[in-house]
Amino acid sequence: MIRRINMDLESVSKLKTESRNSNTINIGSMDGYEVAKLINSEDFNVAESISKVTDSIGKAIEEASDKFSKGGRLIYIGAGTSGRLGALDAIELTPTYGVPPTRAFGILAGGKKAMFEAVEGAEDSEKLAIEDLSNVGLSKNDVLISLSASGRTPYALAAIKYGERVGSLTIAVICNSESPMSKESDIAIAPLVGPEVITGSTRMKSGSAQKMILNILSTGIMIKSGYVYENLMINVQPTNEKLVSRSIGIIEQILKVTSKEAKQIFEDSHGNIAIGLIMKKLGLSYDDAQKKFIKNKRNIHRIVGIK
């Protein structure tokens, strides 16, 4: 047991995300102003590292949107910070694009409790990952997005391997290119952000990189799946006054109508921007527009296109 632990510690120490940052050796003696400047300067490396893996992100968008458009689900999975970032991205797709929670959701090592507090040992369980994915019925139709800064977390790695077995599209979002998850996944997105400001604190640069990648990835999938018209969110859920106002403004911008006319279209379409566009552009009733929308799998481009 001791020998195995030593071997694991040795392999961890070789990871870029766990190595020591020579630029921040003296951060412990700096004042708040200096700390802020130093951390910010290190964060500049994040965007640059992502610029080098946009081809991988683009491939993931193309392949994932194809499965999603055919009814597949976006399933995010991970442990700790990585898992929470995945869950957050999934949750945001409902209010922003109207994606049902059943079609995009996150799974965390340790369950829902792990969203708010650490669940010891969960990230080391391969069995738990398989059980969690079995419980949601992971299939070949789904997209599995597994996140781990190191690219070797047992829970996240086991998820990738299980996804491969059932035939899902497996995407690894990691920060170490030479890692088990990189080798096992269909598509590996692995920006090299370098050593963390605080050694091993992967919620910092690694976490920022993962968040940025997920923003690009999920937004790209939504665009390719017809959830965006021009650069506007036509499936935004008007659940509060701000979003109602935004929805009416979107209708006004797309259809080039007055705010009064846009408000009427919004009301006639029962608050559904996409349905309102179809009604106005094609001269259809609400029921007929809704049927056409559903028949075309909610893809507005197939119905009215972009001019």
Instruction: Identify the pLDDT of residue 75.
Output: 98
Give the 3-state secondary structure of residue 169: strand
Reply yes or no on whether 92 is catalytic: yes
CB 156 within 8 A of CB 181: yes
Domain ranges of the chain: 29-224, 228-303
**Within the chain, which residues score under 50 in pLDDT?**
1-7, 9-10
- From the list 63, 92, 126, 164, the catalytic residue is 92
Handedness of CA 176, 178, 179, 184 (dihedral sign): positive
Q: Which amino acid is located at 165 in the chain?
A: R
pLDDT of residue 11: 52
Write down the pLDDT at residue 306: 60
At 232 the three-state DSSP class reads strand
Q: Give dist(CA 176, CA 148) in Å, integer.
A: 9
pLDDT tens per residue across span 217-232: 999 999 999 889 889 9
Look up the pTM and report it: 0.87
Active-site position among 18, 42, 123, 184: 123
Give me the pLDDT at residue 94, please: 93
Give the pLDDT confidence score for residue 6 in this predicted structure. 44
How far, in Å, CA of 307 to CA of 301, rounded?
10
Residue 252: active-site member: no
pLDDT of amino acid 237: 86
Q: What is the pLDDT of residues 128-182, one digit of tens each?
A: 999 999 999 999 999 999 999 999 999 999 999 999 999 999 999 999 988 999 9
Q: Which CATH class is domain 228-303?
A: mainly alpha
Q: Which CATH superfamily is domain 29-224 in?
A: Glucose-6-phosphate isomerase like protein; domain 1 (3.40.50.10490)
Tokens linked to 2:
């001791």
Say whether 228-303 and 29-224 share the same fold. Answer: no
